Chain A
Amino acid sequence: MSHVHESDSLAFEIEPERYELFEAPRYQFDFDRREFLQALGGGLLVFLLVDDAMAQPPQGRRRGGAGGGPQDIGAWLHISEKGDVTVYTGKTEVGQNIRTSLSQAVAEELRLPLSLVHMVMADTDRVPYDGGTVGSQTSPSMAPRLRRAAAAARAMLVELAAEKAGVERNSLTVADGKVSHRGSGRSYTFGELTQGKKMTKAVGADAAVTPAADWKVLGASASKVEGRAMVTGQHKYASDIQLPGMLFGKVLRPERLNATLASADVKEAKAQPGVIVVHDGGFVGIAAPTEHAAEQALTLIRAEWNASPQISEKELFAALKTSRGAAPAGFGGRGNSSQGSVTEGLKKADHKLNATYTIAYIAHAPLEPRAAVAQWHDGKLTVWTGTQRPFGVRGDLARAFQMPENRVRVIVPDTGSGYGGKHTNEAAIEAARLAKAAGKPVKLVWTREEEFTYAYFRPAGVIDVNAGVRNDGIITAWDLQNYNSGGSAIRGLYEIANQQTQFHQSRAPLRQGSYRALAATANHFARESHMDDLAHAVGMDPLEFRLKNLKDARLRAVLEAAAKQIGWGKSKNGHSFGIAGGFEKRSYVATCAEIVHERDSGQVRIVRLATAFECGTILNPDHLKNQVEGAVVMGLGGALFEAIRFSNGQITNARFSRYRVPRFSDVPELETVLLNRPDLPSEGAGETPIVAVAPAIGNAIFKATGARLRSLPMLPNGLKV
């Protein structure tokens, strides 16, 4: 039985490994954008009302995830008296190309050329509240909302045309930005219909939309909106914003993490021309006319810090298993499941396998580091910054400066990626603090070293798996314990009568939080590596073994598609194959790896990766393929060589020359099979494609060499086995 979900009524649980969302509680605020809406002027304004299921958290739980908020407005769409269409959403564009897919959704329902849809994203003064562009939620939840709003606007235009022409509604068609009357050939542009009108309408979840089978724009590949601005360098990322009189900010950092400032002598720095120094409690920052001058002034500060001893990477995994951390508020047993009796199941097994997998800390390392430009004016704070949580950052700023949220505006330009790493944005607070003291706008861009040191990491973890299997290939018992890494995808879809999964919260030595696919990568690595070992124990083909223990049709489909694509079962001299598959965020992925192992040198070369992916109805096939392949390439890093190295409060590889990330030379042949399911709702694709890469490669390496690699990264000292 496949998992089919009603995208709009799902209860969005906060995964426990989203630690950064629990760092501070965020609550909803009153709808206060009436002024802005009034300024929109005449024409048509459609409000999309959101189902309450996402807005109200269970009793006693802090909120932080995606949702419409208590005022229940998910989006608004405006057609001006000139016929200009503008749609407003709180979602952020961070490279997943939702600006394009959401524009397609509106263009489809309004029967309008894509180039005529103007989308305003992530400006907290102009868009509805949004809990964050997280959890692969945009396609399943925001796209349907915008479709409904646009469909409702289309119906209003038809209504107006019917009135104007004195004809029946059903004699009118909408195409190419015009409403036309079949009989007389009369047609009206949107502007001709909205001229002199001032209408609003609120639509809900029941508004009718165009079925996927009839799509002309949505579901097809369309070029990236704003693409031209990016290839010409015209697009202004937050770090590109320039304002008159702007200064450049830098923050004094301690030598060790968690050190507290004992004293700071800033006299010499203050004496530099044009330099402003802020010493506020533990915060010491500089604003200067150039970045260079700010850096120089920083070196003139003499500071004393109190640092306490902290563990090093060698002690990490033991510490994660033995320490108990405070469970973040809202954490309520996600990942804990129990079925049958593992003890009994193990008794029935012909082969048992108990193994431990370790997962290193890794960094998001977005190419655009954290950056912000802050400006105070008349007691109002405006900050341009790259983040996936504009309203969350607005709240953080309001709290930091003890001001009401409606006096803070956060604007998120299309951003230089995030991968889950920019949910909080300390650079915004730092820039604002300096701007307040300077009385001028301040731009503050984190250095790459600061990015690698002060941003939160993907949690490290230890995963213990104990399983039993019969000689006929049936898994009789399965017990997976995850320490610190997280509960996402901790439970697989295999049919196992006796199974138990549990997530344990540890006291972690480094700051950690959301990373693309959360703990699903780690849990899939452990599960799919272990599955492969069990298959080997009973002498069964790894694909056949998985299918023997799997009923879920959607997962079976991607496993078979990926296998077919790689040429599973065909022998190829000197080449070895591995397979892995999984399920996360309501979408399905399977990856097959083809590798060559040179026996003499030990060198491992990844020749090909074939990935099959299914996420319901596809909104833009080309952009989806781009996302899948991008995630697979990113996954190579965590699979093979990425790891944060640390010692006593210092990150010892805090730069690209020391922290290896996937490059051109690391990319094998990539093949992607997209399975379109227009009968199923659209699901997100930003995360899931990353989860099967590591185990697929690990399984191929095992096939080639007999060596089972149970650590992420698998080959940190070079691709040699």
Chain B
Amino acid sequence: MTTVTELAVNGTRRQVAADPARSLLSVLRDDLDLTGCKYGCGEGRCGACTVLVDGKAVRSCTTLVGACTSKQITTIEGLERDGKLHPLQEAFLNVGAMQCGYCTTGMIMSGVALLAKSNAPTVADVAQSMDGNICRCGTYTRIIQAIRQAADAMKGGGK
């Protein structure tokens, strides 16, 4: 397979020189210094590495970078626009939905994907949709609250 030389990340073309067999996670983090997505398990079972690829939530730790060359990749760093946080980022802060914060970026990216599909998710909807993301500090209840708060905010004409 040929070396990956370019990726479309957060609306910008980024130059890389990556072995296509490497994970998207490691290229984003180690080559592009986009360390918002995290390593938690390496087997796609904890959600800490979640990014959007063509708008869909994917686990970047089990995604080969070679498969992403013609796709639009969105990371946590791409959510903020002109200094304005995404409603879900705001909601996390308002609700205080963090303890150690390590799962937070993955939670937010998974949450953003959910909110793109559903504008009024119930508690059960959110829990089911987000079940692939682990929070070891146990902040689940607040994360659900934040996602639903963001859904409300976005219905009112937010982003």
A and B co-occur in one complex:
yes
Contact of B42 among A223, A414, A448 (CB under 8 A): A448
Contact of A661 among B43, B96, B105, B136 (CB under 8 A): B136
Q: Is the interface of A mostly helix, strand, loop or mixed?
A: loop
Chain B residue at minimum C-beta to C-beta distance from A100: B96
Q: Is the CB of A367 within 8 A of B103?
A: yes
Q: Does A203 contact B (CB under 8 A)?
A: no
Q: Which residues of B contact A234 (CB under 8 A)?
A: 36
Q: Is the CB of A655 within 8 A of B19?
A: no
Q: Which residues of B contact A242 (CB under 8 A)?
A: 30, 33, 35
- Contact pattern, A 84-99, Cβ under 8 Å of B = 1, otherwise 0: 0000000000111100
Q: Is the CB of A231 within 8 A of B93?
A: yes
Please report the C-alpha to C-alpha distance between residue A142 and residue B58 in the assembled complex, in whole angstroms: 42
Contact of B130 among A231, A417, A664 (CB under 8 A): A664
Q: Which residues of A contact B102 (CB under 8 A)?
A: 95, 237, 366-368, 416-417
Please report the C-alpha to C-alpha distance between residue A237 and residue B104 in the assembled complex, in whole angstroms: 13
**Count of chain A to chain B residue pairs whose CB atoms are closer than 8 Å in the complex:** 173
Using known A-B contacts A290-B22, A661-B134, determine if residue A232 contacts B76 with beta carbons closer than 8 Å. yes
Q: Is the CB of B137 within 8 A of A233?
A: no
Q: Is the CB of B104 within 8 A of A231?
A: yes
Q: Does B37 contact A (CB under 8 A)?
A: yes
Contact of A627 among B89, B93, B99, B104 (CB under 8 A): B99
Q: Is the CB of A240 within 8 A of B141?
A: no
Contact of A417 among B29, B35, B99 (CB under 8 A): B99
| B-contacting 9-mer, from A105-113, A403-411, A529-537, A631-639 | A631-639
Using known A-B contacts A233-B105, A290-B19, determine if residue A367 contacts B45 with beta carbons closer than 8 Å. no
Q: Which residues of A contact B30 (CB under 8 A)?
A: 242, 248, 290-291
With a 10 A CB-CB cut-off, give which of B85, B96, B130 has the most chain A CB atoms: B96
Q: Does A365 contact B (CB under 8 A)?
A: yes
- Contact pattern, A 256-270, Cβ under 8 Å of B = 1, otherwise 0: 000000000000000
Q: Is the CB of A622 within 8 A of B96?
A: yes
Q: Is the CB of B40 within 8 A of A232?
A: no
Please report the C-alpha to C-alpha distance between residue A507 and residue B77 in the assembled complex, in whole angstroms: 49
Q: Is the CB of A235 within 8 A of B93?
A: no
Q: Is the CB of A233 within 8 A of B135?
A: no
Q: Which residues of B contact A670 (CB under 8 A)?
A: 141
Contact of A94 among B19, B21, B22, B100 (CB under 8 A): B100
Q: Is the CB of B138 within 8 A of A367?
A: no
* Chain B contacts with A in 25-43, Cβ cutoff 8 A: 26, 29-30, 33-43
Q: Is the CB of B127 within 8 A of A95?
A: no
Contact of B19 among A232, A292, A366, A633 (CB under 8 A): A292
Chain A interfacial residues counted at CB < 8 A:
59
Q: Does A182 contact B (CB under 8 A)?
A: no
What is the minimal beta-carbon distance from B71 to any residue of chain A, in angstroms? 20
Chain A residue at minimum C-beta to C-beta distance from B127: A664
Using known A-B contacts A233-B77, A292-B21, determine if residue A368 contacts B100 with beta carbons closer than 8 Å. yes
Contact of B135 among A367, A369, A445 (CB under 8 A): A367
Q: Is the CB of B29 within 8 A of A240?
A: yes
What is the minimal beta-carbon distance from B51 to any residue of chain A, in angstroms? 11
Q: Does A282 contact B (CB under 8 A)?
A: no
- Contact pattern, B 119-155, Cβ under 8 Å of A = 1, otherwise 0: 0000000111011011111111111100000000000
* Chain A contacts with B in 112-126, Cβ cutoff 8 A: none
Please report the C-alpha to C-alpha distance between residue A224 and residue B92 in the assembled complex, in whole angstroms: 10
Please report the C-alpha to C-alpha distance between residue A657 and residue B104 in the assembled complex, in whole angstroms: 21
Contact of A634 among B22, B80, B92, B138 (CB under 8 A): B138
Q: Does B73 contact A (CB under 8 A)?
A: no
Q: Which residues of B contact A290 (CB under 8 A)?
A: 19, 22, 26, 30
Q: Is the CB of A664 within 8 A of B92?
A: no
What is the minimal beta-carbon distance from B53 to any residue of chain A, in angstroms? 17
Q: Is the CB of B41 within 8 A of A655?
A: yes
Q: Does B55 contact A (CB under 8 A)?
A: no
New contact pairs (7) apart from A227-B98, A367-B38, A664-B140, CB-CB < 8 Å? A224-B96, A233-B105, A234-B36, A366-B102, A416-B102, A448-B42, A664-B126
- Residues of A at the B interface (CB closer than 8 Å) are 94-97, 221, 223-224, 226-228, 230-237, 239-240, 242, 248, 290-293, 365-369, 414-417, 419, 445, 447-448, 622-623, 626-627, 629-634, 655-657, 661-665, 667, 670
- Residues of B at the A interface (CB closer than 8 Å) are 19, 21-23, 26, 29-30, 33-43, 45-46, 48, 75-77, 79-80, 85, 89, 92-93, 96, 98-105, 108, 126-128, 130-131, 133-144
